């Protein structure tokens, strides 16, 4: 692809951008992806530092079960993305004791009953959560045109959904806490558990999260969970290969600095002075950033969405390489509760993920890589001035001491490399404005119809990613890419592609 003109420009190569780009290239369209960083994948990628490969952000991976977004993507691209199933999905250390998140639902309900008591309440709570979450996955696959933008899209909504499922919509008006109360499981210990599990999925605690979404977040470990050997970048690379095999192109180190709308084309300028044009544009750049990139004709619309999501979280992340002193068959993901707020964060827990033993693409034999993350107030980190380095060090030291104390097998003395990143790092690195990551926190106040739609009011301009419906986490942004693909085909290329049966 030599000319700077293509049929479609995709801005950003997160999983949202890569999914839509590869699907469109498969239709024979001329697709070019512009990525600002030197590697693709954004928040779900892997980077090299001091001899090791660390994950950028995401570490847990679901979405490959029947009808879920990554399963659909694989079917539509006729490929298999690299991955290995892991089990159990996760371990939680709460009040100093282990709680294992088994995939098997009966085993998990027994484990939750053992830990929290009230077996009858636990059973009812989880049975409802499984039922609601199944429905959410099923209907998210069926409702490509959501939020609906036209009469026709409303009619699709009516046609695609079973009226018998309508009563389930009441769970959109009940918070997770409401449902916990209904089944008598709202104890301080269970609330702590639910809040921290929801923070890593719904980005909001139980009283802010509608059960309709929270059910899917809480049951995340009860679906098939995967590890990608070599890191998540390998999954992104295999989508890139599909894209390139179908004639598409991914260009890295192409930071977009402006987007203008001309009568027939979008004109995109990059930091290295290049100009790219295409009649159809898909942005994987968060809406907060878009408001600063687009020309005057589009600014008000993006500003209104940027203002709508005033609040989002940042992350304090650490990469640590250690001698492998962990037990055999050690679970790869751990949520460790602290009995205090972790210094300079807003969180009482840490999420720790290990590279698989023997994954020598990420660490030499006998060593492991750890990714650690926790939620922070991003704007606070930007306000620090001279105190910034000292605060960062303070949090790093706390985390290493905490791991030494709480993570089985972790030995502070066996740390080979350790470094950290704050929202300031995230903004410099993959340009996320104010270092806001992880998507839009769930809220009882926001209707599902209020989410940023995949289609903008600007002709042939679409959006994907974790600030667009239903984008949260890798499955969410992949689904946003799949949904955008159907819209682009229908509205920009007048071809209604048949959705795969979910």
Ligand X SMILES: Cc1cc2nc3c(=O)[nH]c(=O)nc-3n(C[C@H](O)[C@H](O)[C@H](O)COP(=O)(O)OP(=O)(O)OC[C@H]3O[C@@H](n4cnc5c(N)ncnc54)[C@H](O)[C@@H]3O)c2cc1C
- By beta-carbon proximity to ligand X, the closer residue of 203 and 460 is 203
CA distances from 66 to 22, 59, 374, 494 (A): 21, 21, 31, 29
The answer for residues whose C-beta is within 8 angstroms of residue 232's C-beta and 6 or more apart is 41, 44, 45, 46, 55, 56, 58, 59, 61, 474
The answer for residues whose C-beta is within 8 angstroms of residue 82's C-beta and 6 or more apart is 228, 229, 230, 234, 235, 238
- By beta-carbon proximity to ligand X, the closer residue of 58 and 194 is 58
Beta strands in 149-283 (DSSP E): 225-227, 249-251, 256-261, 266-270, 275-278, 280-283
Please report how close the Cβ of residue 75 comes to ligand X at its closest, in angstroms: 20
Collapsing DSSP to helix, strand or coil, 186 comes out as: coil
Please report how close the Cβ of residue 437 comes to ligand X at its closest, in angstroms: 3
Tell me the C-alpha distance between 160 and 169, whole Å: 15
- By beta-carbon proximity to ligand X, the closer residue of 109 and 461 is 461
Please report how close the Cβ of residue 257 comes to ligand X at its closest, in angstroms: 7
Q: Are 320 and 410 in contact (CB under 8 A)?
A: no
- By beta-carbon proximity to ligand X, the closer residue of 67 and 178 is 67
- Scanning the structure block, which residue is given the tokens 């750049």? 285
- By beta-carbon proximity to ligand X, the closer residue of 319 and 438 is 438
CA geometry: angle 448, 469, 10, nearest 5 deg? 160
- By beta-carbon proximity to ligand X, the closer residue of 139 and 422 is 422
Please report how close the Cβ of residue 241 comes to ligand X at its closest, in angstroms: 17
Q: What are phi and psi of 407, to 5 degrees?
A: -95, 115
Tell me the C-alpha distance between 83 and 63, whole Å: 12
The answer for residues whose C-beta is within 8 angstroms of residue 249's C-beta and 6 or more apart is 1, 6, 31, 32, 33, 243
- By beta-carbon proximity to ligand X, the closer residue of 208 and 254 is 254
- By beta-carbon proximity to ligand X, the closer residue of 135 and 463 is 463
Tell me the C-alpha distance between 60 and 89, whole Å: 9
- By beta-carbon proximity to ligand X, the closer residue of 206 and 373 is 373
Which residue in 317, 298, 318, 314 sits closest to 306, CA to CA?
Answer: 298
Please report how close the Cβ of residue 43 comes to ligand X at its closest, in angstroms: 3
The two structure tokens encoding residue 499? 């959705």
CA trace torsion 251, 485, 142, 469 (10° rounding): 60
Please report how close the Cβ of residue 420 comes to ligand X at its closest, in angstroms: 12
Please report how close the Cβ of residue 422 comes to ligand X at its closest, in angstroms: 11
- By beta-carbon proximity to ligand X, the closer residue of 189 and 420 is 420
Please report how close the Cβ of residue 94 comes to ligand X at its closest, in angstroms: 19
Please report how close the Cβ of residue 281 comes to ligand X at its closest, in angstroms: 12
- By beta-carbon proximity to ligand X, the closer residue of 34 and 129 is 34
- Scanning the structure block, which residue is given the tokens 């959109």? 172
Please report how close the Cβ of residue 182 comes to ligand X at its closest, in angstroms: 28
Tell me the C-alpha distance between 331 and 89, whole Å: 7
Cis peptide upstream of residue 470 (ω within 30 degrees of 0): yes
Please report how close the Cβ of residue 14 comes to ligand X at its closest, in angstroms: 2
- By beta-carbon proximity to ligand X, the closer residue of 15 and 176 is 15
Residues in contact with ligand X by the rule CB under 6 A: 11-17, 34-37, 42-44, 57-60, 255-256, 284-285, 289, 315, 317, 373, 430-432, 437-439, 465-466, 471, 473-474, 477
The two structure tokens encoding residue 127? 């049975």
Starting at the edge strand that comes first in sequence, how are the strands of the sheet with 314-323 ordered? 97-101, 90-94, 333-337, 349-354, 367-376, 314-323, 415-421
Please report how close the Cβ of residue 386 comes to ligand X at its closest, in angstroms: 26
Q: What is the CA radius of gyration of the chain?
A: 22
């Amino acid at each position: 692809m030599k000319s700077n003109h293509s049929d479609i420009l995709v801005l950003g190569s997160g999983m949202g951008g890569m999914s839509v780009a590869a699907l469109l290239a498969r239709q024979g369209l001329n697709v070019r992806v512009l990525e600002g960083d030197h590697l693709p994948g954004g928040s779900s990628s892997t980077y090299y530092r001091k001899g090791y490969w660390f994950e950028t952000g995401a570490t847990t991976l679901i979405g490959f079960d029947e009808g879920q977004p990554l399963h659909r993507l694989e079917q539509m691209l006729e490929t298999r993305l690299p991955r290995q199933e892991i089990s159990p999905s996760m371990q939680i250390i709460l009040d100093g004791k282990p709680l294992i998140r088994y995939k098997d639902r009966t085993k998990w309900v027994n484990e939750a009953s053992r830990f929290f008591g009230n077996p009858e309440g636990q059973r009812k709570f989880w049975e409802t959560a499984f039922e609601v979450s199944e429905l959410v996955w099923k209907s998210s696959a069926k409702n490509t045109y959501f939020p609906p933008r036209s009469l026709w899209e409303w009619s699709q909504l009516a046609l695609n959904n079973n009226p018998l499922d309508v009563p389930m919509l009441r769970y959109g008006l009940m918070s997770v806490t409401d449902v916990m109360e209904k089944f008598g499981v709202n104890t301080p210990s269970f609330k702590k558990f639910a809040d921290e599990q929801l923070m890593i999925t719904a980005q909001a605690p139980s009283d802010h999260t509608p059960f309709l979404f929270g059910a899917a977040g809480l049951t995340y470990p009860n679906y098939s969970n995967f590890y990608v050997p070599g890191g998540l970048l390998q999954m992104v690379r295999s989508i890139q290969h599909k894209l390139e095999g179908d004639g598409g192109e991914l260009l890295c180190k192409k930071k977009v600095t402006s987007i203008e709308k001309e009568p027939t084309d979008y004109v995109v300028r990059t930091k290295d002075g290049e100009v790219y044009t295409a009649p159809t544009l898909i942005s994987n750049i968060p809406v907060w950033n878009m408001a600063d990139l687009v020309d005057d004709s589009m600014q008000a619309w993006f500003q209104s969405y940027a203002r709508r999501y005033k609040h989002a979280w940042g992350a304090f992340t650490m990469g640590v390489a250690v001698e492998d002193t962990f037990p055999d068959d050690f679970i790869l993901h751990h949520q460790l509760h602290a009995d205090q707020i972790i210094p300079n964060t807003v969180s009482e827990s840490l999420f720790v993920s290990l590279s698989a033993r023997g994954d020598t693409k990420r660490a030499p034999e006998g060593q492991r890589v750890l990714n650690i993350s926790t939620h922070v107030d991003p704007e606070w980190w930007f306000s620090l001035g001279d105190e910034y380095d000292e605060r960062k060090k303070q949090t790093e030291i706390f985390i290493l001491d905490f791991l030494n104390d709480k993570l089985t097998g972790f030995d502070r003395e066996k740390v080979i490399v350790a470094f950290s990143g704050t929202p300031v790092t995230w903004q410099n690195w993959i340009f996320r404005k104010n270092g806001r990551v992880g998507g839009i926190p769930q809220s009882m106040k926001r209707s599902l119809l209020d989410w940023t739609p995949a289609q903008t009011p600007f002709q042939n301009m679409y959006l994907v990613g974790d600030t667009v419906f239903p984008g949260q986490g890798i499955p969410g942004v992949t689904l946003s890419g799949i949904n955008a693909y159907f819209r682009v085909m229908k509205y920009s290329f007048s071809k209604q592609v048949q959705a795969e049966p979910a």
